[in-house]
Amino acid sequence: MKLDEIDKRILSVLQRDGRIQNVELAREVGLSPSPCLRRVKLLEDAGIIDRYVAVLNPVKAGLPLSLFARVWLTAQDAETIDHFMAAMKKLPQVMECYIMLGESDALLRVAVSDLDDYRQFQSTHLTKVNGIQNVKTDVPSQVVKQTYALPLR
């Protein structure tokens, strides 16, 4: 599906406020409500809109600390990588997991309550049992920008 300018406007507004009422969305993008609703449905059916979620404040939710773990696996074969990916998908603390090309094999963003919580998580889950050889953890000192909105142009 090729996105036109109206689709991009719809998506930009929905990325800002996924709970916006269709009438208000239509007004913001310059459509009447029926065609706007039809377009949103097409975007959902095409999988461009994957799902709607609530973005939580991590501090108020009790998980103020995000750490980045660079992971080196025990091997580079498909079985080891598949086992690792399956294990990471099951861990709610793993907010993001990327298989990397470069120095490390994977990069994780992990949400925890504090450093003790992370130490427990690391010693329990980031081990050889899950195909992990080595882990280096980076602790951010300040969040400068964090967004979930794609830059549609």
Which pLDDT score is estimated for 153?
A: 83
145 domain residue, yes or no: no
- Classify residue 56 by its DSSP letter: P
**What is the domain extent for residue 109?**
59-138
- Same domain membership, residue 79 and residue 33: no
Q: What is the number of structural domains in the chain?
A: 2
75 domain residue, yes or no: yes
Dump pLDDT digits (tens) for 93-130. 999 999 999 999 999 999 999 999 999 999 999 999 99
Question: Rounded to whole angstroms, how far apart are CA atoms 29 and 36?
Answer: 8
Classified as helix, coil or strand, 31 is coil
Tell me which residues of the chain have a pLDDT lower than 70. none
- Same domain membership, residue 68 and residue 39: no
Do the bridges between strand 65-73 and strand 106-112 make them parallel or antiparallel, or are there none, so unpaired?
antiparallel
